[in-house]
């Protein structure tokens, strides 16, 4: 049976580079993002370059029924992903009192609730198959606290904690779970291609926590 990778937030940056890596390895793709036009262009690029199947799904992942729609789509096409890359996320910066409640709620919906629901669905399917790889995008801030990104880093702490616990639960099942923790600054943004290449390599090795960027001695894993 052909392999499939499901990648969220695949329309730009690191998510797009993950898609290109998977395609280069002849892995079929299910790509999710809000920007349908960009996804369609990426689908054309990857199908022509690598002769694979690419399912481009433009959708708002902050909608409460987003996981139900994705699950139904996979069921109709009889697809059980071999790889899940949870890359989609919302970043909000600012003092806690200045951030609008609606914006923060949308971030929590995507970074925590959607992430949890989708991971649970795919994880269960992988357990039944007896194999699979899951990579979850976290942040160096997920191991500590950072002012002016309080709620965002709280969501990434959740991702990191869940990933570590799930990796332990999954031992011996053939399924691995990796948290990719990124360190970035405004003056030195991370190179998407290198991050994706590093994350892919660590995911395939089954590493539980992979840290990309400058190490912080005060944030031990």
**Residues forming the active site:** 152
Separation between Cα atoms, residue 11 and residue 62, nearest integer Å: 16
Separation between Cα atoms, residue 201 and residue 213, nearest integer Å: 15
Domain with residues 4-212, CATH architecture: 3-Layer(aba) Sandwich (3.40)
Arithmetic mean of pLDDT, 5-17: 97
Q: C-alpha dihedral over 2, 210, 63, 38, to 10 degrees?
A: -60
Q: C-alpha dihedral over 195, 197, 198, 202, to 10 degrees?
A: 130
- Which H or E run contains 111? none
Q: Give pLDDT tens digits for 142-159.
A: 666 678 889 999 999 999
Cβ burial 37-76 (10 Å sphere, 16+ → b, else e): ebbeebbeebbeebebebbbbebebbeeebbeebeeebee
Domain ranges of the chain: 4-212
What pLDDT is stored for residue 24 in this prediction? 98
Residues in the chain: 221
Q: Do residues 133 and 84 lie in contact, with contact meaning Cβ atoms separated by under 8 Å?
A: yes
Q: Give pLDDT tens digits for 104-130.
A: 999 999 999 999 999 999 999 999 999
What's the pLDDT band for 185 if we cut at 50, 70, 90? very low
| Partners of 54 in the β-ladder | 29
Do strands 132-139 and 83-86 pair parallel, antiparallel, or not at all (unpaired)?
Answer: parallel
Q: Give pLDDT tens digits for 30-78.
A: 999 999 999 999 999 999 999 999 999 999 999 999 999 999 999 999 9
Q: Do residues 88 and 32 lie in contact, with contact meaning Cβ atoms separated by under 8 Å?
A: yes
Least confident of 69-73, 137-141, 181-185: 181-185
Residue 92, Cβ neighbours under 10 Å: how many? 18
pTM across the whole model: 0.93
């Amino acid at each position: 049976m052909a392999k499939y990778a499901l990648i969220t937030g695949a329309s730009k940056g690191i998510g797009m580079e993950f898609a290109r890596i998977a395609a280069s390895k002849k892995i079929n793709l299910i790509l999710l993002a809000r920007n349908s036009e960009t996804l369609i262009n990426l689908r054309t690029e990857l199908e022509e370059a690598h002769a694979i199947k690419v399912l481009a799904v433009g959708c708002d992942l902050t909608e409460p029924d987003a996981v139900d729609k994705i699950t139904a789509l996979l069921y109709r096409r009889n697809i059980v992903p071999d790889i899940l890359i949870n890359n989609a996320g919302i970043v909000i910066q600012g003092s806690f009192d200045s951030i609008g409640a609606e914006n923060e709620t949308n971030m929590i919906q995507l970074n925590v609730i959607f992430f949890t629901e989708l991971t649970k669905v795919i994880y269960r399917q992988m357990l039944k198959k007896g194999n699979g790889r899951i990579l979850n995008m976290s942040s160096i801030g997920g191991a500590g606290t950072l002012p002016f990104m309080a709620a965002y880093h709280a969501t990434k702490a959740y991702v990191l904690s869940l990933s570590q616990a799930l990796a332990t639960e999954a031992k011996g099942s053939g399924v691995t779970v990796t948290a990719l923790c990124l360190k970035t600054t405004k003056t030195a943004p991370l190179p998407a291609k290198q991050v994706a290449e590093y994350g892919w390599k660590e995911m395939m090795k089954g590493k539980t926590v992979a840290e990309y960027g400058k190490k912080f001695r005060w944030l031990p894993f």
